[in-house]
Chains A and B, each alone.
Chain A
Amino acid sequence: MTIVENYFFELRNLTKNFGLTKVLNKIFLSFIEGDRVLIVGPNGSGKSTLIKILLGLLSKSSGEIMLEGKEVNRPPLFESSFLGHNSLLYAPLSVLENLKLLLRLRDGSEELNLILEEWSLLTQKNKLISELSKGNEWRAALAVVLNRTASFLYLDEPTTSLDQSGRELFLGNFNKIALNKKLTVIATHDVRGLAETINRVVVLKHGQVSKDIRGNFKEAQLSSLYLEACS
C-alpha cells in the first residue's frame, strides 16, 4: 500500500559532478513539512554538497528539484538560513554591526539585546569579528543563523568550534527553533543531544542515500546509526 505524503520539497535523480568526480549520484529525497533531518556519513560522502544544493548555494549537474510542486533550477536563498564551515560574517565589522546587517535589526532594539544576552556576546558586541576568538565568532555566527526568520534551516557541522557551554547553548536554541521551521537539516559528527529534535535520519555513503529512517530516536539509536554509517 502506498502512503501518499504531502511532499513539498523533493530531489529526483539528483547528480552533482565536480569536474569529472561524481559527488552525489542519483539521489532521491522527499521532505514533508516539519521534517527535522540528521544527515550522517563518512567524510567525503557528499553531506556538505547535498546541503548546499538543498539550500540553493550550489547548482545541480542533473536531475530535478521540486519545490511546492513546481520544478526549480535552485531553491531561493532567502528561504534558507545556513551555517557551514565558515562563519559568514564580515571580519572588519563588529558583532553588533553584523547582527544588525544580517538580521535587519535596529540599533538598541530589544530583540538585539536579547540575542546578545542569550549568546553571552554583550561584552563582545563592539569587538570586530577578526578580533574574536574562534569560539566567540562561532557563537555570533549561530546567533545570526538561528534567529533568521527563513523557513528552512541548514546546519553543517555547527558545533565544531564550540566549547561545552557553547554546545549546550546551541542545543537549547536549536531544539526550540527547529520545531518552528518547515524543514531542518543538520549534518554533524556530534550527535549528542539531538535525539529530542530529530525525526528522520539519512545516511549518505559515496554520494548515495544508503538509509532513510523516519521516527522518534533515542540518543543511543542515533549514536549507533552514526557509528554504523561511518564504519
Chain B
Amino acid sequence: MSELLLLLKKDFSIESRTKEVLVLILTMSLLLGTITAVGINSAFLSPGNLNLMFPTFLWLVFIFSSTLSISKSFEYEFRNDAIYGLLLSGTSSTKVYLSKLIANVVLSLIGQLVTFFVLVILANFTIPSILCELIIISALVALGFSAVSTILIPMSQTSKLKSMLLPLLLLPLLFPILFAGLELSAALFDSGKIDWGSSWISILLAFDVIYVALGVNLFEHVILD
C-alpha cells in the first residue's frame, strides 16, 4: 500500500511539475467545447432541443479531448526507460498500472468537468442542480476510460504512428461506456436524479470492473517484451 502511495506521489509530482497532461486536457476541452458551441449557436437550437442534445456534445467533446491528451501521461515513463528502473526497484507492474490508472482517472475527471462548464457557459445551457450526481457518473466513465487507455498508451507510444494510434485503438472499445454516459446523463438532466437500478449503471460498473481486472493482469505484457 505504501508502495502505491509512493508511486502516486511520483506521478503527481511529475504532473504538477510539467503540467503537460493537465494543460493539454484543459486546452483541448476549451477548444473543442468552443467549436461545438459555435456549431450549436449556428444551428439556432431551441432550448428544448439543446437540452436533448447536450449529453451528446458533452461526451463527444470529453472523449476527443481526453483521447488526444492522455497519451502524454506516459511521456516520462519511457524517457530514459525510467519505467524499467521503477520495475527493477522492486515494484510490481500491477502497482505501476494502478498508480497510473488513478492519476489518469483524476486527470480525465478534471477534463470532464471543464468540458461541462465550458459548454454550459458558452451554449447557455440551463441545468438543474445535479453536479454531485454528474460527478459520480463522470467518475465511473473516467474509470473505464482510464482502465483501457492506461493499457493502450504504451502500445501506441512504441508504434510508428506514436500517439496517433491511440484513438484508433481506444475509441472503438469505448462505445459501451459512451452509450452509458449518454443515457445516464440524459436521464439525469431530465429527471434530476440517477436511476441506480438502471441497466446502464450495471454496464458501466461491469465495464469498469472487467477492464481494471484485465489491465492489472495484462499490463506487464505491454511493458515488457
Q: Determine if B14 is an interface residue (Cβ-Cβ < 8 Å).
A: yes
Q: Which residues of A sit under 8 angstroms from B84, Cβ to Cβ?
A: 57, 82, 88
B80:A86 contact, CB within 8 angstroms: yes
For window 58-116 of chain B, which residues contact chain A by CB distance below 8 Å? 76, 79-82, 84-90
Q: Determine if A70 is an interface residue (Cβ-Cβ < 8 Å).
A: no
Residue of A nearest to B2 (CB): A104
Contact with B along A184-214 (1 / 0, CB 8 A): 0000000000000000000000000000000
A59:B82 contact, CB within 8 angstroms: no
Q: How far is the CA of A78 from the CA of B224 in the complex (A)?
A: 14
Q: Say how far B73's CB is from chain A's closest CB, in angstroms.
A: 12
Q: How far is the CA of A53 from the CA of B92 in the complex (A)?
A: 18
Q: How far is the CA of A87 from the CA of B88 in the complex (A)?
A: 13
Residue of B nearest to A89 (CB): B80
Residue of B nearest to A128 (CB): B17
For window 59-89 of chain A, which residues contact chain B by CB distance below 8 Å? 59, 74, 77-78, 80-82, 84, 86-89
* A59-B224, A86-B81 given; A78·B18 CB < 8 A: no
A88:B82 contact, CB within 8 angstroms: yes
A104:B89 contact, CB within 8 angstroms: yes
Q: Determine if A220 is an interface residue (Cβ-Cβ < 8 Å).
A: no
Hey, which bits of chain B sit against chain A, CB under 8 A?
6, 10, 13-14, 17-18, 76, 79-82, 84-90, 224-225
Contact count A vs B, C-beta below 8 Å:
74
Contact with B along A91-103 (1 / 0, CB 8 A): 1110001000111
Q: Which residues of B sit under 8 angstroms from A57, Cβ to Cβ?
A: 84, 224-225
B80:A81 contact, CB within 8 angstroms: no
A91:B13 contact, CB within 8 angstroms: no
Q: Determine if A36 is an interface residue (Cβ-Cβ < 8 Å).
A: no
Residue of A nearest to B91 (CB): A78
B81:A88 contact, CB within 8 angstroms: yes
B82:A89 contact, CB within 8 angstroms: yes
Can you give 29 A-B contacts (C-beta < 8 A)?
Answer: A55-B88, A57-B84, A57-B225, A59-B225, A74-B224, A77-B88, A80-B88, A84-B81, A86-B80, A86-B81, A87-B81, A88-B80, A90-B10, A90-B85, A91-B80, A92-B13, A92-B14, A92-B17, A92-B76, A97-B10, A101-B86, A103-B89, A104-B6, A128-B17, A129-B80, A144-B85, A148-B89, A150-B88, A150-B90
Q: Determine if A32 is an interface residue (Cβ-Cβ < 8 Å).
A: no
* A57-B225, A92-B14 given; A102·B86 CB < 8 A: yes
Sorted nearest first, the 8 A-B pairs with minimum C-beta distance are A88-B85, A86-B81, A78-B90, A102-B89, A90-B82, A86-B80, A87-B80, A92-B14
Q: How far is the CA of A88 from the CA of B87 in the complex (A)?
A: 10
A93:B14 contact, CB within 8 angstroms: yes
B6:A101 contact, CB within 8 angstroms: yes
Hey, which bits of chain A sit against chain B, CB under 8 A?
55-59, 74, 77-78, 80-82, 84, 86-93, 97, 101-104, 128-129, 144, 148, 150
Q: Besides the contacts A87-B81, A90-B85, A104-B6, what 18 more A-B pairs have beta carbons closer than 8 Å?
A: A56-B224, A57-B84, A77-B88, A78-B89, A78-B90, A81-B88, A86-B81, A87-B80, A88-B88, A89-B80, A89-B85, A91-B79, A93-B13, A101-B10, A103-B89, A104-B90, A150-B88, A150-B90
Q: Which residues of B sit under 8 angstroms from A93, Cβ to Cβ?
A: 10, 13-14, 17
Chain B interface main SS type: helix
Q: How far is the CA of A82 from the CA of B80 in the complex (A)?
A: 13
A92:B18 contact, CB within 8 angstroms: yes
Query: B85's contact among A78, A92, A102, by CB below 8 Å, is which?
Result: A102
Q: How far is the CA of A81 from the CA of B85 in the complex (A)?
A: 9
Q: Which residues of A sit under 8 angstroms from B13, Cβ to Cβ?
A: 92-93, 97
Q: How far is the CA of A58 from the CA of B6 in the complex (A)?
A: 26
Q: Say how far A158's CB is from chain B's closest CB, in angstroms.
A: 14
Q: Which residues of B sit under 8 angstroms from A84, Cβ to Cβ?
A: 81
Residue of B nearest to A90 (CB): B82
Q: How far is the CA of A56 from the CA of B76 in the complex (A)?
A: 22
Q: How far is the CA of A84 from the CA of B81 in the complex (A)?
A: 10
Q: How far is the CA of A101 from the CA of B81 in the complex (A)?
A: 15
Q: Which residues of A sit under 8 angstroms from B17, Cβ to Cβ?
A: 92-93, 128
